[in-house]
Amino acid sequence: MHMMYSPDRIDPVILGHILGQHRELHAHLLAVRAALAEDEPPDAQRVGAVRTMLTGLRDYLKAHFEQEERGGFMEESIARMPRLSSAVQQVMADHPSLLAELDTLLETLAMCDTSLEAWDEATHGFAAFADHLIAHERNENAVVQEGYNEDLDLAD
Ligand SMILES: [Fe+2]
Ligand SMILES: [Fe+2]
């Protein structure tokens, strides 16, 4: 990713760290998807393993969101490019709903014992969650990239 930084106004190390977490989130998503995709009936061990992965993902995501909200990158993006304001508001509003989606998924799997129906429900629920998270991170990357890349002519 090619980005131009203005070191007097932002901390590129922290920003790079957050963008790196987006790549790590993708790895989490792939791991959970692979665990859900196995073509055999679920047993208690597999349900437990997926629950553990989802809980880990939730913790990771919560910390990630908190860093983003604390980091000031979104505000800084707005300061640099005021037209990003509504995009930033939308991106930040995604955070609580994404966590809620994971909570719902964990409840589904908690109640599901090892029935195929519940496993399928969790698989579909996770696919929807993954799509939402990927779209969220894509929008967020776009906001940060636009906000911080001063050398591009981004006129609409
Ligand atoms: Fe985010
Ligand atoms: Fe993010």
CA–CA separation, 122 and 128 (whole Å): 10
Min mean pLDDT across 5-14, 15-24, 145-154 is at 5-14
pLDDT, tens digit, for every residue of 39-97?
777 888 899 999 999 999 999 999 999 988 887 888 888 888 899 899 999 999 999 99
CATH topology (fold) of 23-148:
Four Helix Bundle (Hemerythrin (Met), subunit A) (1.20.120)
Decide if pLDDT at 151 tops 60: no
The rounded Å distance from CA 48 to ligand 2 centre is 27
The predicted pLDDT at position 155 comes to 46
The rounded Å distance from CA 34 to ligand 2 centre is 22
Give the ligand whose atoms come closest to the C-alpha of residue 92. 1
Residues in contact with 68: Cβ distance below 8 Å, sequence separation at least 6, in sequence order: 18, 74, 95, 140
The rounded Å distance from CA 40 to ligand 2 centre is 33
Cα separations in angstroms, 95 against 81, 100, 103, 112? 22, 9, 13, 26
The residue with greater pLDDT, 31 or 145, is 31
The residue with greater pLDDT, 91 or 113, is 91
pLDDT-derived band at 111 (thresholds 50, 70, 90) equals low
The rounded Å distance from CA 8 to ligand 1 centre is 24
pLDDT-derived band at 154 (thresholds 50, 70, 90) equals very low
Percent with pLDDT over 90 in the chain:
45
The rounded Å distance from CA 18 to ligand 2 centre is 7
For residue 140, how far is the Cα from the chain centroid?
Answer: 9
